[in-house]
Structure 1
């Protein structure tokens, strides 16, 4: 009787929880063929992954194709529903761990971790077929009857912690806005000392006044809508100049840097150190700089006229706060931007006017 058709993978054999598993390198062109993903064929009780979020796939595929010399993927983890045969290449304790893994072609492969990577690889291969010769690590667990695959998914994600937004900005050297935010912080005499570079939330005891993620959002809002012909260095220079000028009108920021008052006190008593106000200052600043009729720096003096105290509920309740708590929704950012633009003498956009009218109507009980 002829031997059954099979896949043969070079592999390393390991043991976890008294069970064998295998690590291999698989050419990208084989990933869509071997790890077939059709969630419609699998009932929820058998699926070992979330339902595929198709909106994520093109983004990951673009990441591959636009970073041919620098993309990186972690291993795909899958369960094999089949009897396999591992053929060591040598004898002895060390030699027996490396060999050839024989898997029958009738085997079922269920992805435990990596379904979006698999779908993105398939999409990227359509655009760039020569990617097929590159490889990705694959971790294969034996799971006859697929009895453990769902528990494996739960265990693989049990202690996964998504990095904070700030540390994502700090480490991302491909994203231009992230690079811009980092350089603005590092070049600013004020920000360099009062920005938390890793965490995206601040405790009352933190000596930092802002988070890097808040500076990222604010600076991105500032440079958006500016002249498309401006290069990166022009944007960096402009952003640094703008935030240095803004800082002159918030004496509490300087007092925190000089350790004369605590950052916690300022965050508790004033709203101008919170991310929503920074982003609103960025959006208002973008409109101010685009208005070339007048020099923009003198206009920022009007910021001193604003009562930034959190106790000033007339200004901030329903606009930047709800029940005394700072809000971050898009509508709150717009309403906060509107107030700043009013003090700066700037005209609201049609969308900002719509949001403002709805806010005023609600406050008046109409």
Structure 2
């Protein structure tokens, strides 16, 4: 049988209770909680063949994994296919229901930890962590079989029964924390919209020094006016579907937000140290994510009609008369729910509708539906 660089399948009969064909992996042996485990590099083409999911049809208490969320797969697969020279996948973790025979290369030091791990082909490999990566690899290989020669790290544990596998899943996910959206935007160099948001922050006097680059929520005493994630979504909404020449998106976004700044005197008051950022956020909603998103959508409508600066700036002028204070009862149910600013999709749309009415802009059918439901008291 063909020999793999990182994993081989042999026809040798080995002296164990069951004989047959084996997978042989070059591996490193380790110890956790008194149990041996092994780390190897596995060619991607073997991943769909040997690793299985827990049965979806079983009830949760009889499974050792959550049900595969197929909605996540297109994005993961696209990520691999779009970045064949620059994708990164962390290790898979699997339990092996079968014999694992490790032969070290020596008896001392590194040689004792390195060797070959033989696992019968009849053994059952159950993924404890990485089922979506495994499924995405399978889909990506169908589109680009050349990826099959690349490898992914795999951590093998001996299967000690359902309870142990369930505990492994719980432990592996117990302390997993999704990073804040702002730091994701800050570190994402593939996303052109993230690049634009960072460029605007770095070049515009409106935002430079006043944007929280790491966190997506501002503390009550923060001296920042905005979060990077809020500016990102606002700018994304602004430029969606707008035709701009390559490299000019950041300039257009900067021009737009600086025009908005001239209509919101509190922003400038903070920069002049006449008003603290915390007081502004406490008393007004125009620096919150929902407002930036809504202003981005308003700008998008104007830019789609005309990218001529003089035209869309003139049409923005009525925003100067909008009462952005939290004390304005018009915001209740639109941007504020139960005394708190709400960033739900419905509330963003209701805020957009409010601004459209001030600017004399019509509502789309979907916006009108949301507005009618709000006026009926259904929202």
The root-mean-square deviation of aligned C-alpha atoms, in Å, is: 2.0
Quote the residue 1:167 is aligned against: 183
Quote the residue 2:91 is aligned against: 75
1:102 equivalent in alignment to 2:107:
no
SS at match of 1:334: helix
Shift of 1:291: 2.5
SS at match of 1:193: coil
Identify the match of residue 263 of structure 1 among 277, 287, 293.
Answer: 277
**Counterpart mapping for 1:106-255 below 5 A:** 106-227=122-243, 230-255=244-269
Q: Which 5+ residue runs of structure 1 have no aligned equivalent?
A: none
Cα distance in 1 between the residues matched to 2:160 and 2:173: 22
Shift of 1:147: 4.2
- Offset from partner CA, 1:306-363 (integer Å, 9 cap, x none): 11110111x2111111222211122211111112122223222232223223323339
Residue-pair matches, total? 361
Identify the match of residue 20 of structure 1 among 36, 40, 44.
Answer: 36
- Offset from partner CA, 1:160-211 (integer Å, 9 cap, x none): 1110111111111111211111111111112111111111111101111111
Asked if the contact 1:180–1:236 (Cα under 8 Å) also holds between the matched residues in 2, the reply is yes
Asked if the contact 1:82–1:144 (Cα under 8 Å) also holds between the matched residues in 2, the reply is no
SS at match of 1:288: helix
Cα distance in 1 between the residues matched to 2:255 and 2:71: 38
Cα distance in 1 between the residues matched to 2:111 and 2:118: 17
TM-score by length of 2: 0.90
SS at match of 1:233: coil
Q: Which 5+ residue runs of structure 2 have no aligned equivalent?
A: 1-11
SS at match of 2:127: strand
Q: Which portions of structure 1, spanning 4 or more consecutive aligned residues, are displaced by more than 3 angstroms?
A: 40-46, 144-147
Q: 1:102 to 1:307 in 2, by over 3 A?
A: same
Quote the residue 1:351 is aligned against: 366
1:289 equivalent in alignment to 2:298:
no
Cα distance in 2 between the residues matched to 1:146 and 1:317: 51
Asked if the contact 1:79–1:146 (Cα under 8 Å) also holds between the matched residues in 2, the reply is no
Cα distance in 2 between the residues matched to 1:319 and 1:195: 25
Cα distance in 2 between the residues matched to 1:245 and 1:325: 28
SS at match of 2:84: coil
Cα distance in 2 between the residues matched to 1:138 and 1:42: 26
Quote the residue 1:51 is aligned against: 67
Q: 1:42 to 1:96 in 2, by over 3 A?
A: farther
SS at match of 1:101: strand
Asked if the contact 1:288–1:346 (Cα under 8 Å) also holds between the matched residues in 2, the reply is no
Shift of 1:43: 5.3
TM-score by length of 1: 0.93
